[in-house]
Amino acid sequence: MSLSGSRIEVMRHIEKFVDEKLDKFLRPVDVNWQPSDFLPDSQSPSFLDEIKNIQERARELSYDFWAVLIGDTITEEALPTYESWLMSMEGVNQGDAGGWSKWIRGWTAEENRHGDLLNKFLYLSGMVNMKEVEISTQYLIADGFDIQTGVDPYKNFVYTSFQELATNISHRRVADLAKKQDNPQLAKLCSTIAADEARHAFAYKSFVSQIFKVDPSEMMLAFEDMMKKKIVMPAHYLREMGMDMGKTYSHFSDAAQRLGVYTSKDYVEIMQSLLKDWKIEHITGLNAAGEKARDYLMLLPDRLTRVADRLKIPQLEYRFRWIGM
Ligand SMILES: [Fe+2]
Ligand SMILES: [Fe+2]
């Protein structure tokens, strides 16, 4: 079947698949985890002791670790930007109760717990200047982002597939580091968020797979276009008080590279896993432009690996306004 007419037609066609699979892509609210499952209960008599324990353990974590955890938190807290961006995609209509708007709302509702949980943890840790973090969060939402997808759903789903895999990796690595620092509570919290990201990646990747079935050439071109532009992080405009837009982002990214939480090697590995999951090598029915795009994509991981090998990670520790140590 070929639907290479318009994006809207394809989106309408796939909407039924999304609707039917929603219970695989999302967990029912009543049984889903909530931030309070991982934090001290303020109604409990042991509340203050538990906070003391969190704060003692928090002091064992490094400066870079806090920079990454805070940057991750702010990224998660800028969720309003992501929801409104996705709602504006071609083929999505907020006003109807179709699979697409249900998915975007359900996804937003799950993601909202991530920022909520991390924010509360930062607050309890005693290591963080919360007002500075809140200022960065407000800036980031006000500044928005430009992920270079426009309203094209194909490009957006490449982006979100990539991003959910990237956040899965980074939350998982933060969890590993916390575990090594003998902080099982923080490890559990981050690995629980990471598991959500993996399930969301599965959903977004399956949307792309569905599009490949009906509009392979256009999907291939969209994938190529996104990889040529490079996937930017959702917090690429991150800044602190009194700074220009985007000024803090590279310091956050440097800290993540130093810790090995998210590196340029991970970028290449995500790319490779997408080529494999979407069976790019075996897609049939491509036109000439689609074939050319495929050739470009298949060669990209090797090229990116050579670039990644040459990259040097800045060793300079930047002093963030967020961290009180
Ligand atoms: Fe998240
Ligand atoms: Fe996510």
197 catalytic per annotation: yes
- pLDDT above 90 covers a percentage of the chain that reads 93
Measure 196 CA to ligand 2 centroid, in angstroms.
7
41 catalytic per annotation: no
Residue 310 confidence (pLDDT) = 87
196 catalytic per annotation: yes
Measure 289 CA to ligand 2 centroid, in angstroms.
32
Q: What is the mean pLDDT of the chain?
A: 95
Catalytic residue among 171, 200, 236, 251: 200
Question: Please, how many CA atoms are within 13 Å of residue 115, restricted to the half-sphere of its CB?
Answer: 16
Please choose, from the candidates 82, 100, 81, the residue with its C-alpha nearest in 3D space to the C-alpha of residue 90.
100
Instruction: Using pLDDT thresholds of 50, 70 and 90, give the confidence band for residue 315.
Output: confident
50 catalytic per annotation: no
Q: 49 by DSSP, 3-state: which?
A: helix
- Judged against a pLDDT cut of 60, whether residue 184 lies above it is answered with yes
Q: Which ligand is in closest contact with the Cα of 159?
A: 2
pTM of the entire predicted model = 0.96
Q: How far is CA 68 from CA 5, 168, 255, 296, in A?
A: 44, 14, 6, 33
Measure 71 CA to ligand 2 centroid, in angstroms.
14
Measure 201 CA to ligand 1 centroid, in angstroms.
11
99 φ/ψ angles, rounded to the nearest 5 degrees: -55, -40
- Judged against a pLDDT cut of 80, whether residue 182 lies above it is answered with yes
**15-24, 55-64, 92-101, 137-146: least confidently modelled range:** 92-101
- Judged against a pLDDT cut of 70, whether residue 62 lies above it is answered with yes
Q: What is the spatial distance between Cα 49 and Cα 293, in angstroms, rounded to a whole number?
A: 58
At 212-245, the pLDDT tens digits run 999 999 999 999 999 999 999 999 999 999 999 9
Query: Which DSSP category does 181 fall into?
Result: T
Q: Which helix (H) or strand (E) holds 76?
A: helix 63-77
Strand partners, 128: 323
Measure 137 CA to ligand 1 centroid, in angstroms.
15
76 catalytic per annotation: yes
**Mean pLDDT in residue range 153-173:** 98
Instruction: Using pLDDT thresholds of 50, 70 and 90, give the confidence band for residue 5.
Output: low
Q: What is the spatial distance between Cα 29 and Cα 73, in angstroms, rounded to a whole number?
A: 22
Measure 97 CA to ligand 2 centroid, in angstroms.
23
Measure 108 CA to ligand 2 centroid, in angstroms.
9
164 catalytic per annotation: yes
At 250-304, the pLDDT tens digits run 999 999 999 999 999 999 999 999 999 999 999 999 999 999 999 999 999 999 9
Catalytic residue among 15, 116, 197, 254: 197
Cβ neighbour number for residue 50 with a 10 Å cutoff: 16
20 catalytic per annotation: no
Q: How far is CA 142 from CA 79, 134, 136, 170, 253, in A?
A: 12, 12, 10, 25, 21
Q: How far is CA 120 from CA 2, 127, 133, 185, 285, in A?
A: 49, 12, 12, 13, 50
- Judged against a pLDDT cut of 70, whether residue 83 lies above it is answered with yes
